[in-house]
């Protein structure tokens, strides 16, 4: 269950951050509403995750996967194409998340 609430937190944060760009400094109402709701849902779900998962592990997963998803959305929605260094860096971040979850004892929920 902690991974499900963490996934919801990641997706809500990703939507909120993408809407933050579209809100144009909170001058556009609908993207601004998405920002507030998305971050609210994200932090609520993250708080549920932290009941059973170590904060460092949860945050590493949340931020690492969030970085990759935000970059992909920025590419699709805002034509912000990552260069080779950015792609390599994001691949290393994902590798780090996998190492924590697959090989670290602190990565296990419960």
What span, in angstroms and rounded, lies between the C-alpha atoms of 38 and 2?
A: 19
Report the distance separating Cα 20 and Cα 33, nearest Å: 10
The vertex-64 CA angle with 95 and 74, nearest 5°, equals 115
Per-residue pLDDT of 18-75, as tens digits, reads 999 889 999 999 999 999 999 999 999 999 999 999 898 898 889 889 999 999 999 9
Domain boundaries, the chain: 2-107
Tell me how far apart the alpha carbons of residues 106 and 61 are, in angstroms, rounded to a whole number: 13
Q: At what angle do helices 29-49 and 55-78 cross, to 10 degrees?
A: 160
88 near 33, Cβ under 8 Å?
no
- The angle, 0 to 180 degrees and rounded to 10, between the axes of the packed helices 2-22 and 29-49 is 160
pLDDT digit string, tens, across residues 80-108? 999 999 999 989 988 988 888 778 776 55
pTM attached to this predicted model: 0.83
């Amino acid at each position: 269950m902690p991974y499900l609430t963490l996934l919801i937190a990641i997706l809500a944060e990703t939507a909120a951050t993408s809407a933050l760009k579209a809100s144009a400094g909170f001058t556009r109402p609908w993207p601004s509403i998405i920002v507030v709701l998305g971050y609210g849902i994200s932090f609520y779900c993250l708080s549920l995750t932290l009941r059973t998962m170590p904060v460092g592990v949860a945050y590493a997963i949340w931020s690492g996967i969030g970085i990759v998803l935000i970059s992909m959305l920025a590419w699709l929605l805002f034509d912000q194409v990552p260069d080779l260094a950015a792609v390599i860096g994001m691949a290393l971040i994902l590798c780090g998340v996998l190492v924590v979850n697959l090989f670290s004892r602190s990565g296990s929920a419960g």
